[in-house]
Amino acid sequence: MVKIGLIYKQLTQRDIKVLNSIERGMKRYEYVPLELIEKYSKLPETHVVLILSKLHRLKLVKRKTISGYKAYRLTYLGLDMLALNTLVRMNVVEAIGDKLAVGKESEIFRALAPGGKPVAVKFMRIGRTSFHTTRRVREWADNPRLDWYKQAKIAAEREFKATREIYREGGSVPSPIAYNRHAVVTEYVSGVELYRKPEIEDPYTVLLRILETIHIAYVKVGIIHGDLSEYNVLIDISSNTPYIIDWPQYVYKEHPQAEVLLRRDIEYIIRFFRKQYKVEVEINRALKYVRGEDEQIQ
Protein backbone atom coordinates (compact mmCIF):
# COMPACT_ATOMS: atom_id res chain seq x y z
CA MET A 1 0.00 0.00 0.00
CA VAL A 2 1.30 3.43 -0.96
CA LYS A 3 1.81 5.61 2.12
CA ILE A 4 1.15 9.12 0.84
CA GLY A 5 2.21 10.71 4.12
CA LEU A 6 5.55 8.93 4.15
CA ILE A 7 6.29 9.96 0.57
CA TYR A 8 5.34 13.56 1.30
CA LYS A 9 7.76 13.68 4.24
CA GLN A 10 10.62 12.75 1.89
CA LEU A 11 10.08 15.78 -0.33
CA THR A 12 12.01 19.04 -0.08
CA GLN A 13 10.87 22.42 -1.32
CA ARG A 14 13.13 21.94 -4.34
CA ASP A 15 11.34 18.68 -5.12
CA ILE A 16 8.01 20.51 -4.94
CA LYS A 17 9.39 23.25 -7.18
CA VAL A 18 10.28 20.68 -9.85
CA LEU A 19 6.86 19.02 -9.57
CA ASN A 20 5.24 22.44 -9.95
CA SER A 21 7.37 23.09 -13.03
CA ILE A 22 6.23 19.84 -14.63
CA GLU A 23 2.61 20.68 -13.84
CA ARG A 24 3.06 24.07 -15.46
CA GLY A 25 4.63 22.50 -18.54
CA MET A 26 1.78 19.97 -18.88
CA LYS A 27 -0.49 22.81 -19.94
CA ARG A 28 1.42 22.67 -23.25
CA TYR A 29 2.96 19.19 -23.37
CA GLU A 30 1.92 15.66 -22.46
CA TYR A 31 5.57 15.06 -21.53
CA VAL A 32 7.47 18.19 -20.54
CA PRO A 33 11.00 18.59 -21.98
CA LEU A 34 13.83 18.62 -19.45
CA GLU A 35 15.05 22.04 -20.61
CA LEU A 36 11.61 23.53 -19.94
CA ILE A 37 11.56 22.05 -16.43
CA GLU A 38 14.94 23.68 -15.82
CA LYS A 39 13.65 27.00 -17.12
CA TYR A 40 10.50 26.98 -14.97
CA SER A 41 12.19 25.74 -11.81
CA LYS A 42 15.16 28.14 -12.13
CA LEU A 43 17.38 25.43 -10.70
CA PRO A 44 20.75 24.29 -12.08
CA GLU A 45 20.58 21.43 -14.60
CA THR A 46 22.53 19.03 -12.38
CA HIS A 47 20.13 19.66 -9.48
CA VAL A 48 17.06 19.15 -11.68
CA VAL A 49 18.41 15.85 -13.04
CA LEU A 50 19.05 14.52 -9.53
CA ILE A 51 15.64 15.64 -8.31
CA LEU A 52 13.90 14.06 -11.30
CA SER A 53 15.70 10.79 -10.59
CA LYS A 54 14.37 10.89 -7.02
CA LEU A 55 10.84 11.77 -8.14
CA HIS A 56 10.90 8.94 -10.68
CA ARG A 57 12.05 6.48 -8.01
CA LEU A 58 9.15 7.59 -5.80
CA LYS A 59 6.78 7.11 -8.78
CA LEU A 60 5.74 10.77 -8.76
CA VAL A 61 6.72 11.26 -12.40
CA LYS A 62 6.95 9.23 -15.59
CA ARG A 63 9.72 9.78 -18.09
CA LYS A 64 9.99 9.27 -21.80
CA THR A 65 12.64 9.82 -24.43
CA ILE A 66 11.31 11.83 -27.38
CA SER A 67 13.56 12.42 -30.40
CA GLY A 68 16.57 11.78 -28.20
CA TYR A 69 15.47 14.20 -25.47
CA LYS A 70 14.21 13.27 -22.01
CA ALA A 71 10.76 14.49 -21.01
CA TYR A 72 8.57 14.01 -17.94
CA ARG A 73 4.97 14.12 -16.80
CA LEU A 74 3.26 13.86 -13.43
CA THR A 75 1.60 10.70 -12.20
CA TYR A 76 -1.51 10.88 -10.03
CA LEU A 77 0.76 10.37 -7.03
CA GLY A 78 2.83 13.37 -8.11
CA LEU A 79 -0.31 15.46 -8.40
CA ASP A 80 -1.31 14.20 -4.93
CA MET A 81 1.91 15.65 -3.53
CA LEU A 82 1.25 19.07 -5.06
CA ALA A 83 -2.33 19.17 -3.78
CA LEU A 84 -1.29 17.98 -0.32
CA ASN A 85 1.51 20.54 -0.16
CA THR A 86 -0.94 23.34 -0.94
CA LEU A 87 -3.50 22.05 1.58
CA VAL A 88 -0.80 22.02 4.25
CA ARG A 89 0.20 25.59 3.37
CA MET A 90 -3.50 26.58 3.46
CA ASN A 91 -3.58 25.28 7.07
CA VAL A 92 -6.32 22.81 6.10
CA VAL A 93 -4.41 19.54 6.53
CA GLU A 94 -1.69 18.83 9.08
CA ALA A 95 -1.09 15.11 8.54
CA ILE A 96 -2.42 12.39 6.26
CA GLY A 97 -2.87 8.77 7.26
CA ASP A 98 -4.16 5.49 5.88
CA LYS A 99 -6.42 4.91 2.94
CA LEU A 100 -10.08 4.63 3.93
CA ALA A 101 -11.65 3.60 0.64
CA VAL A 102 -11.02 3.10 -3.06
CA GLY A 103 -13.65 3.90 -5.65
CA LYS A 104 -13.79 3.62 -9.42
CA GLU A 105 -12.54 7.17 -9.74
CA SER A 106 -11.21 8.22 -6.34
CA GLU A 107 -9.18 7.28 -3.29
CA ILE A 108 -10.07 8.55 0.18
CA PHE A 109 -7.59 8.99 3.03
CA ARG A 110 -7.94 9.69 6.72
CA ALA A 111 -6.22 12.95 7.69
CA LEU A 112 -5.89 15.45 10.51
CA ALA A 113 -6.57 19.16 10.39
CA PRO A 114 -4.64 21.55 12.64
CA GLY A 115 -5.69 20.94 16.23
CA GLY A 116 -6.09 17.21 15.65
CA LYS A 117 -9.55 17.34 14.07
CA PRO A 118 -10.18 14.26 11.88
CA VAL A 119 -10.97 14.98 8.22
CA ALA A 120 -11.11 12.99 5.00
CA VAL A 121 -9.12 13.80 1.85
CA LYS A 122 -10.51 12.53 -1.42
CA PHE A 123 -8.16 12.40 -4.41
CA MET A 124 -9.98 12.15 -7.74
CA ARG A 125 -8.72 9.46 -10.10
CA ILE A 126 -10.67 10.27 -13.26
CA GLY A 127 -9.65 8.08 -16.17
CA ARG A 128 -8.80 5.06 -14.02
CA THR A 129 -11.57 3.04 -15.67
CA SER A 130 -11.98 4.49 -19.13
CA PHE A 131 -11.87 7.90 -20.77
CA HIS A 132 -14.69 6.73 -23.02
CA THR A 133 -16.88 5.84 -20.04
CA THR A 134 -16.06 9.14 -18.35
CA ARG A 135 -16.97 11.19 -21.40
CA ARG A 136 -20.15 9.26 -22.02
CA VAL A 137 -21.62 10.27 -18.66
CA ARG A 138 -20.03 13.70 -18.19
CA GLU A 139 -20.60 16.62 -20.50
CA TRP A 140 -17.60 18.49 -19.07
CA ALA A 141 -15.34 15.65 -20.21
CA ASP A 142 -16.47 15.73 -23.84
CA ASN A 143 -13.48 17.77 -24.98
CA PRO A 144 -10.89 15.27 -26.32
CA ARG A 145 -8.12 17.71 -25.31
CA LEU A 146 -9.18 17.51 -21.65
CA ASP A 147 -6.43 15.36 -20.15
CA TRP A 148 -6.76 13.08 -17.13
CA TYR A 149 -5.40 15.62 -14.65
CA LYS A 150 -7.66 18.37 -15.99
CA GLN A 151 -10.68 16.08 -15.69
CA ALA A 152 -9.69 15.23 -12.13
CA LYS A 153 -9.36 18.91 -11.19
CA ILE A 154 -12.76 19.74 -12.67
CA ALA A 155 -14.33 16.78 -10.85
CA ALA A 156 -12.94 17.97 -7.51
CA GLU A 157 -14.17 21.52 -8.06
CA ARG A 158 -17.63 20.27 -9.05
CA GLU A 159 -17.88 17.96 -6.04
CA PHE A 160 -16.79 20.68 -3.61
CA LYS A 161 -19.16 23.32 -4.97
CA ALA A 162 -22.14 20.95 -5.20
CA THR A 163 -21.76 19.59 -1.67
CA ARG A 164 -21.13 23.09 -0.29
CA GLU A 165 -24.47 24.30 -1.66
CA ILE A 166 -26.37 21.19 -0.57
CA TYR A 167 -24.84 21.35 2.92
CA ARG A 168 -25.76 25.03 3.24
CA GLU A 169 -29.38 24.17 2.42
CA GLY A 170 -29.51 21.44 5.07
CA GLY A 171 -28.84 18.37 2.93
CA SER A 172 -27.17 15.30 4.38
CA VAL A 173 -23.68 15.32 2.84
CA PRO A 174 -20.26 15.40 4.51
CA SER A 175 -19.41 19.01 5.34
CA PRO A 176 -16.96 20.28 2.68
CA ILE A 177 -13.92 22.15 4.00
CA ALA A 178 -11.63 22.95 1.05
CA TYR A 179 -10.32 21.70 -2.28
CA ASN A 180 -7.16 22.06 -4.30
CA ARG A 181 -6.43 20.66 -7.73
CA HIS A 182 -7.99 17.16 -7.70
CA ALA A 183 -8.33 16.86 -3.90
CA VAL A 184 -11.41 17.58 -1.76
CA VAL A 185 -11.27 17.82 2.04
CA THR A 186 -14.42 17.10 4.06
CA GLU A 187 -15.38 16.35 7.61
CA TYR A 188 -14.62 12.78 8.60
CA VAL A 189 -17.78 10.66 8.69
CA SER A 190 -17.57 7.42 10.62
CA GLY A 191 -20.00 5.54 8.44
CA VAL A 192 -20.65 2.21 6.76
CA GLU A 193 -21.32 2.01 3.03
CA LEU A 194 -24.96 1.18 2.40
CA TYR A 195 -24.10 -1.60 -0.05
CA ARG A 196 -22.65 -3.55 2.90
CA LYS A 197 -26.24 -3.80 4.21
CA PRO A 198 -25.59 -2.55 7.75
CA GLU A 199 -28.14 -3.08 10.49
CA ILE A 200 -30.15 0.15 10.61
CA GLU A 201 -32.34 0.98 13.57
CA ASP A 202 -34.94 2.88 11.53
CA PRO A 203 -34.47 2.24 7.78
CA TYR A 204 -37.65 4.11 6.84
CA THR A 205 -36.40 7.34 8.42
CA VAL A 206 -33.01 6.86 6.76
CA LEU A 207 -34.63 6.47 3.34
CA LEU A 208 -36.75 9.59 3.91
CA ARG A 209 -33.60 11.56 4.80
CA ILE A 210 -31.92 10.38 1.59
CA LEU A 211 -34.94 11.47 -0.44
CA GLU A 212 -35.04 14.79 1.43
CA THR A 213 -31.42 15.43 0.41
CA ILE A 214 -32.23 14.62 -3.23
CA HIS A 215 -35.16 17.04 -2.90
CA ILE A 216 -32.88 19.79 -1.51
CA ALA A 217 -30.37 19.21 -4.31
CA TYR A 218 -33.11 19.40 -6.95
CA VAL A 219 -35.33 22.20 -5.65
CA LYS A 220 -32.89 24.47 -3.80
CA VAL A 221 -29.62 23.85 -5.64
CA GLY A 222 -30.99 22.83 -9.03
CA ILE A 223 -28.96 19.67 -9.55
CA ILE A 224 -29.43 15.89 -9.78
CA HIS A 225 -26.86 13.44 -8.43
CA GLY A 226 -27.02 11.31 -11.57
CA ASP A 227 -25.38 8.16 -10.18
CA LEU A 228 -27.12 7.47 -6.88
CA SER A 229 -27.07 3.93 -5.53
CA GLU A 230 -26.18 2.00 -2.40
CA TYR A 231 -22.50 2.49 -3.29
CA ASN A 232 -22.46 6.23 -2.62
CA VAL A 233 -24.43 6.42 0.61
CA LEU A 234 -22.70 6.23 4.00
CA ILE A 235 -24.68 5.34 7.12
CA ASP A 236 -23.66 6.63 10.54
CA ILE A 237 -25.13 3.79 12.60
CA SER A 238 -24.83 5.63 15.91
CA SER A 239 -27.05 8.51 14.76
CA ASN A 240 -29.13 6.72 12.10
CA THR A 241 -27.91 9.35 9.60
CA PRO A 242 -27.23 8.79 5.89
CA TYR A 243 -24.70 10.85 3.94
CA ILE A 244 -24.83 11.02 0.14
CA ILE A 245 -21.37 11.18 -1.41
CA ASP A 246 -19.77 11.28 -4.91
CA TRP A 247 -21.31 14.32 -6.62
CA PRO A 248 -18.96 15.31 -9.48
CA GLN A 249 -21.15 13.80 -12.21
CA TYR A 250 -24.23 15.83 -11.23
CA VAL A 251 -26.37 17.44 -13.93
CA TYR A 252 -28.55 20.53 -13.76
CA LYS A 253 -32.28 19.96 -13.69
CA GLU A 254 -32.56 21.70 -17.08
CA HIS A 255 -30.41 18.96 -18.66
CA PRO A 256 -32.16 17.00 -21.45
CA GLN A 257 -31.68 13.74 -19.51
CA ALA A 258 -32.56 15.24 -16.13
CA GLU A 259 -35.88 13.43 -15.66
CA VAL A 260 -34.40 10.10 -16.71
CA LEU A 261 -31.50 10.46 -14.30
CA LEU A 262 -33.68 11.69 -11.44
CA ARG A 263 -36.09 8.77 -11.81
CA ARG A 264 -33.20 6.32 -12.02
CA ASP A 265 -31.60 7.71 -8.84
CA ILE A 266 -34.86 7.41 -6.93
CA GLU A 267 -35.74 3.97 -8.30
CA TYR A 268 -32.32 2.54 -7.41
CA ILE A 269 -32.36 3.71 -3.82
CA ILE A 270 -36.02 2.83 -3.16
CA ARG A 271 -35.62 -0.66 -4.62
CA PHE A 272 -32.55 -1.27 -2.49
CA PHE A 273 -34.42 -0.34 0.70
CA ARG A 274 -37.41 -2.40 -0.37
CA LYS A 275 -35.28 -5.48 -1.01
CA GLN A 276 -32.90 -5.23 1.94
CA TYR A 277 -34.97 -3.52 4.65
CA LYS A 278 -38.58 -4.24 3.56
CA VAL A 279 -39.35 -0.50 3.42
CA GLU A 280 -42.16 0.45 1.06
CA VAL A 281 -42.16 3.87 -0.61
CA GLU A 282 -44.07 4.45 -3.86
CA ILE A 283 -41.70 5.65 -6.57
CA ASN A 284 -44.04 8.15 -8.26
CA ARG A 285 -44.97 9.73 -4.92
CA ALA A 286 -41.28 10.02 -4.10
CA LEU A 287 -40.65 11.68 -7.47
CA LYS A 288 -43.35 14.28 -6.84
CA TYR A 289 -41.89 15.01 -3.42
CA VAL A 290 -38.34 15.37 -4.77
CA ARG A 291 -39.53 17.74 -7.50
CA GLY A 292 -41.33 19.85 -4.89
CA GLU A 293 -44.80 18.99 -6.20
CA ASP A 294 -45.87 17.34 -2.92
CA GLU A 295 -44.81 18.42 0.59
CA GLN A 296 -44.72 14.84 1.88
CA ILE A 297 -44.02 11.41 0.42
CA GLN A 298 -46.76 9.50 2.23
For residue 28, what are the domain limits?
A: 4-74
The mean of the pLDDT values for the chain is 92
In terms of domains, do 171 and 197 share one? no
**Is residue 296 included in any domain, yes or no?**
no
Exactly one of 80, 98, 147, 227 is catalytic; which is it? 227
d(CA 177, CA 179): 7
Residue 122 sits in the same domain as residue 180: yes
Question: Is 253 contained in some domain?
Answer: yes
Instruction: Tell whether 297 is covered by a domain.
Output: no
pTM for the full predicted model: 0.90
Is 232 found in the same domain as 199?
Answer: yes
**H or E segment at 70?**
strand 69-74
Structure-model confidence comparison of residues 149 and 117, the more confident one: 117
Task: Over range 122-137, report the average pLDDT.
Answer: 60
Domain with 253 in it: what CATH number?
1.10.510.10
Please identify, among 187, 219, 239, the residue that sits at the C-terminal boundary of a domain. 187
- Do residues 66 and 89 both lie within one domain? no
pLDDT value of residue 163? 98
Strand segments (E) across 158-236: 176-180, 183-187, 192-193, 223-224, 233-236
Q: Are residue 221 and residue 132 in the same domain, yes or no?
A: no
At 1 the pLDDT is 56
- In this structure, the answer to whether residues 158 and 118 fall within a common structural domain is yes
Residue 174 confidence (pLDDT): 97
- The number of domains in the chain is 3
pLDDT, position 3: 85
pLDDT digits (tens, 9 = 90+) for 190-207: 889 999 999 999 999 999
- Claim to verify: residue 160 and residue 215 sit in the same structural domain: no
Q: Span 113-132, mean pLDDT?
A: 80
Q: Is 227 a catalytic residue?
A: yes
